[in-house]
Structure 1
Amino acid sequence: MHGYSFARRSILAVTALAALRPGSVQAQGAPLTYVGWSHDEAASRPVLTEAFETFRAANAGVRLETIGFPWAQMQQNVVLRLRSSQPLDVVQLAERWLPQLSRLLQPADLREVLGAELDRVDPGLLRLGQVGGRQLAMPWTAGSIGMVANRKVLSDAGIAEPPRTVEAFADALRRIKRGNAEVVPYAFSTKNNLSISPDFQVWLWTFGGRLFDAEDKVAIDSDAARAALSFLVDLSREGLMARDIDRPDSRRLFGGNRAGLYHDAPLARGFARDNSGQGAVFDTNVAAVATPVLRVGDTPRSLMWGHILALPAARARPAADGPAARLLRHLALNDETQLRYFRAVGLFPVTRSALATLAADDYVTVWTRNAGSAEMDETAAWPNAADLTTIVGEEVQAALLLSKPPAQALADMANRLRRAVANQRRT
């Protein structure tokens, strides 16, 4: 899984244009420029190359140019292209980039471009591309940062079903620890602020807390937040979590049957296949589960995650039958394209009809159902999102390492967040 957003200041500080790496271009036809990263990555390059060639074959009057940048350079290069007036008709984004980049991209509202076609996607998944009530991007591959359980580890500990409540979750972790001291019951990210912050936010929401309230005021110094962080600290004290592990470490432990549960993106099953060395045979051990709830009947929490496609409209509003809209449909609303992408890489499709063909795959159906109530990372809507992520991660880590009591870590977090957003405006 890719990391979390860079600070806006790092985007604006770029002073030189990066070298472009254009893809295949047809000799004739109306120009259409696509910019993204996935088609340049080894795993997804073959299937996306095929998708673009299929589009070209069906749209002979369009001269499609595909430009790729490494994921870590995407935001900077999108900004550079906009500022230097280079073509940008369809752009791939991570969902957490949209609130800030939408100010520069000025994406078309896809409700105005596609209308009722959007109803082919579940409203819960459509939220990945919404800002301020407008549909500024289309989910392309959708899911969440959700919880994964290792069935073998649970079974070895005598646990028949994944825990559904916070109390049952803690009890299950203790049973795993008693059964095998070499296993990390809960592979929570305890290093790397980019992983700590989202994982903590899921528990914060589970206990009824927020980083910010409805009026954008810092709300983290609350009873609910203290309960959430104290819960995690107690798990750490009991040895139910491990110090100094990040998401890649969790994946390796999980694939080696040395972790019971952890948080990840939908690609978790693919990582487990690779890390186990068993391929798809290991799938029987991988279960998508809902984050445990505080009380029966509560909505399980998870954090939005996905790739989205936007149509920048700074120069002109894309037409419903124009080449940009047709490419977006081909990539995100064409079931055949979506399912080929899923089978090649493991990223979930977004249309109801494509998902219906995968109804027998519990991993996909359970994860997609849980993702319907996922929430956006609370830091993403702020211009200095990376600064806020760092603050949250550092203070949570300080509590987990027992260098600060939970109440002190949250009080310090609140003060630092207030200073950080004092002169900022949330999108």
Structure 2
Amino acid sequence: MADVAPIGAGSAPQPTAPAPDGILSIRGGVGGVSCQLEELLRGAALLDDLVQQLIGVESEARAVQADLGPYLYDSYASGCAAIDAVAESRGEVGRVRQELVGISASVRSSHHDYVQTEVKNLFPRMLALDEMKMSGAPWVPGRDITHNVVTSIIPPGMGARGIMRGLLQSPLVPRLRPRPVTIEKIDESIEQVDPSMAQSIRRLESLHARGDGEIEIIQLDRDGSASWMVLIPGTQPDAPDSNPFDIPGVGEALGYDSEEVVPAIGQALREAGAEAGDQVVAVGHSQGGAHAMNLSQNKAFLSEFDLKYVLTAGAPVGGISPEPGISTLHLEHIQDFVPGTDGRVNPDTKDRVTVTLNNEVKTPEGEDPGLGPGHRLENYAAGAELVTASQDPSLAASSAAFAGVVGVGGTARVTHFKLERSPLPDKRQILQNPHLPESRSTAGAR
């Protein structure tokens, strides 16, 4: 009995939704739409190369056919046969070339259709806020809602970075602009370190609790050579003006590309013992995640250190574009409004993965709700454990990239550095020069 073809065999392929991965919604990476679209274009380009090669074969066949012409009368029968064989071969090559041209055009058309479909798929998200208003649903500040609010406020063609920088440059608010940041080594210890994603996020909790502008630098052993992890805490709202991770620090991170904090982190790495070319992983929560991502686009930092990976939790980083080859993983929670405050959706690329946690969370009884339960570090640490255990191709590749730099853990050297922002200039100086306080950028470092 002949085999029965499966239902739908021979018909056009239909897209299918990715398999669920528990509470995780995954976008980007090697299994992401953009990567697949890139593969379509790469395939079309390879077909175009084959077409050019076949054109060359046709040209050579035509030259051979012309060269055989003068010998036709020496042996008419065999000469005609030879010329006909070459002509037929050239015709077959031409037919294959035409087929490849058609296939390449179809692939590019498919790419165009997929891109248009993805654009249309964004509209329901853009309408989510209006639907919520019409339905009378209670206000639940989450990532998507915040994103929609911000994008509805920002004028077309102007990003959140431009808006924030414009506000911070006002001479009326000099304390909100970046000021030079210095570092001070606080302590150094040798301890057992678990460098997993989840435990790295949990270590940020103690940094945040200190509330004094400290970062943590961990020297790890990676197959006999040193690699480094930089941990950057989130906003410390009750901090003094000297703490660069206070509320105005958000402005430096999102409006000024962390122009003072990034050099300070580089100096801390050097004082901790890192050498030029050493591999680095950066981990940050909230504002700290934005500072961590700014490392990935700072050419001075990247010219010295080999930043391989950035892990962020609850951070607004959609407008920050890392240099090619740097892997990034962004953890966001559906109940956390902070990641949406920049009004930008994280790009979907081969090296960039965004994971949204969709479980319902509540603030533990008796604890300060802070910015909401979705923004809690333990919530993101639990999500990181699910990421590491996932078999999703994008997450598996991203987790492997992270582990490839930090290794399996063990004895490590842990150093804490305190970052301190310089004081404001005298008020008379500010009145005489409204662009004070002068930062590295205005001093000509960039």
In the superposition, the TM-score normalised over structure 1's length comes to 0.23
In the superposition, the TM-score normalised over structure 2's length comes to 0.22
Which structure has the greater CA radius of gyration?
2
